[in-house]
Structure 1
Amino acid sequence: MDLSFITDGWAGHLSYLLLVLSMLMRRMLWLRLFVIASALAGIAFDYYWLNNPVGVFWQTLLILVNLAELFILWRNDRRASFSAEEQRFRDTLLPGLSPGRTRRFLDHGRWETLAPGTVLTREGQPPDFLTYLDDGNIRIEAHGRLLRVVTGGHFIGEMSLMGDGRAVATATVQSRARVWRIERVKLARLRDTSPATMSVLELGIARDMRAKLVFQNATGPGDGP
């Protein structure tokens, strides 16, 4: 193998390596930092090895664009503020999402206070909302049998996001409940427009489902919280 392929253009290899690594980053901050590092290595390669001013210009422009985007991220994070219930939601189920992205995600839904008897999902039917329960009790029933009672800090209707989209159980408000809800159609749009946000949400849903299964196995069907 001709080692000059590596040694004579190490800065060029480093530039592309950092660019590839940036595509593996799950957080936008690290993605943009890796892109900037890639562009810096690219500038060194274009200037010292290739004497290519066109490459230097476009790599410099790439750095400036990413610096501007980092500033916007920083500004949005600094401006983001949360109520106590929103902060609980964020800490419990969205811990990997930046403050700015969390604020934008929450703004897609709405907070509501629901009266006892309100049906959130109906068994066998696609629910209109994904619901986060902050406070209150929700009865979960399937085939006319009580499965469990869900208390605050959990999603309702998350199972409908998988498979055929139909709810596997009926969820009914048992006591006055404080919830945050987002329409399914908005979630579908976010899957296309904000995949990073949806990735964090799906991780939160997976953790929530695992916690519910552990609780159900520990208490048995029909037991209280």
Structure 2
Amino acid sequence: MPTLAPSDYLVHLAAISTLICYLFRDQIKLRFFAALGDALLTGYYYFAFDKPLWNGLVWTVANVIINVTMIIILLREHRMSLLTDHEMTLFRCLETLTPGQFRKLLKIATWHESEDPVQLTEEGAALNKLYYVLDGNITIGKQGRVIEREPKMFIGEIAFLRDKAASATVMTASKSLYVSWDQAELRALLKKNEDLKNAMSSLLTTDMADKVARA
């Protein structure tokens, strides 16, 4: 049986690490073992031959860099400890969003706290914002009918989804906390992030269905 040189073990360890990576659904663990496998394979290409196999080595190094970069990005997306209490409350309300998706949405959000009633929308008028009310009851007026709703709901979602005027006049309570997104900026963000677009569509559709059920 031939004796393996110390450098020969690298290729076997690389193969084992690569096989292990396929056992994980978690992207961080998967990419860690993929990067480890390529790092070991890089060592094999460099040490196992009289002259390093530069062609293969360049690509394994590139794979290591890509995977390590993605691990850093994923770790940043999973780090939610820096969120404020209000941001964490909003994150829990938008339950279909991943931490990374939520942070993207948060970057273009504007927070509002008011001690007086605020009119968010006017029935039939153009609307360039999407709102989410976190605290303070909401008064909704439509076709002469006025109803009051509890917070934790989107306002202006129909106008946003259909690109039309507001379907109702909405007022906040005397004390309220809400978030707004500029429609144009939000559309641009969703256009670049298909997964976020799908998650937001699900949230807005569910929100509309809840409103209909409570009407």
- TM-score w.r.t. length of structure 2: 0.68
Relative to structure 1, the CA distance from residue 94 to residue 59 in structure 2 (aligned partners, 3 Å threshold; closer, same or farther) is: farther
Q: Which runs of 5 or more residues in structure 2 are unaligned?
A: 1-21, 46-52
Cα offset, 1:128, TM superposition: 2.2
Give the alignment of 1:115-126 within 5 angstroms. Answer: 115-126=115-126
AA of the residue aligned to 1:157: G
Match of 1:210 in 2: 209
Contact 2:28/2:71 (8 A) holds in 1: no
Cα offset, 1:75, TM superposition: 3.1
AA of the residue aligned to 2:73: I
Match of 1:77 in 2: 78
AA of the residue aligned to 2:190: R
Deviates more, 1:136-145 or 1:206-215: 206-215
Relative to structure 1, the CA distance from residue 62 to residue 180 in structure 2 (aligned partners, 3 Å threshold; closer, same or farther) is: same
RMSD of aligned Cα (Å): 3.6
AA of the residue aligned to 1:212: K
Secondary structure of the 1:166 match is coil
Task: Tell me the matched-pair count.
Answer: 184
Q: Structure 1: which 4+ aligned runs deviate by more than 6 Å?
A: none
Contact 2:191/2:197 (8 A) holds in 1: no
Deviates more, 1:151-160 or 1:174-183: 174-183
AA of the residue aligned to 2:106: L
Contact 1:157/1:167 (8 A) holds in 2: yes
The one-character-per-residue Cα deviations of 1:137-176 (angstroms, maximum 9, x if unpaired) are: 1111112222x32222111111112223321111112332
Cα offset, 1:30, TM superposition: 4.4
Cα offset, 1:76, TM superposition: 4.2
AA of the residue aligned to 2:90: F
Cα offset, 1:136, TM superposition: 0.6
Cα offset, 1:131, TM superposition: 0.8
Match of 2:143 in 1: 143
The one-character-per-residue Cα deviations of 1:172-217 (angstroms, maximum 9, x if unpaired) are: 123321111111121022123333333322222222222222222x
Match of 2:175 in 1: 176
Q: Does 1:127 align with 2:127?
A: yes
What CA distance in whole angstroms lies between the structure 1 residues aligned with 2:151 and 2:29? 36
Match of 1:14 in 2: none
Contact 2:140/2:149 (8 A) holds in 1: yes
Larger Rg: 2
Cα offset, 1:112, TM superposition: 0.8
Match of 1:86 in 2: 87
Contact 2:97/2:196 (8 A) holds in 1: no
Match of 1:109 in 2: 109
AA of the residue aligned to 2:125: Q
What CA distance in whole angstroms lies between the structure 2 residues aligned with 1:80 and 1:186? 26
Relative to structure 1, the CA distance from residue 59 to residue 141 in structure 2 (aligned partners, 3 Å threshold; closer, same or farther) is: farther
What CA distance in whole angstroms lies between the structure 2 residues aligned with 1:161 and 1:73? 30
The one-character-per-residue Cα deviations of 1:11-34 (angstroms, maximum 9, x if unpaired) are: xxxxxxx9xxxxxx9xxx749958
Secondary structure of the 1:162 match is helix
Cα offset, 1:57, TM superposition: 4.2
Match of 1:62 in 2: 63
AA of the residue aligned to 2:119: V
What CA distance in whole angstroms lies between the structure 1 residues aligned with 2:112 and 2:130? 13
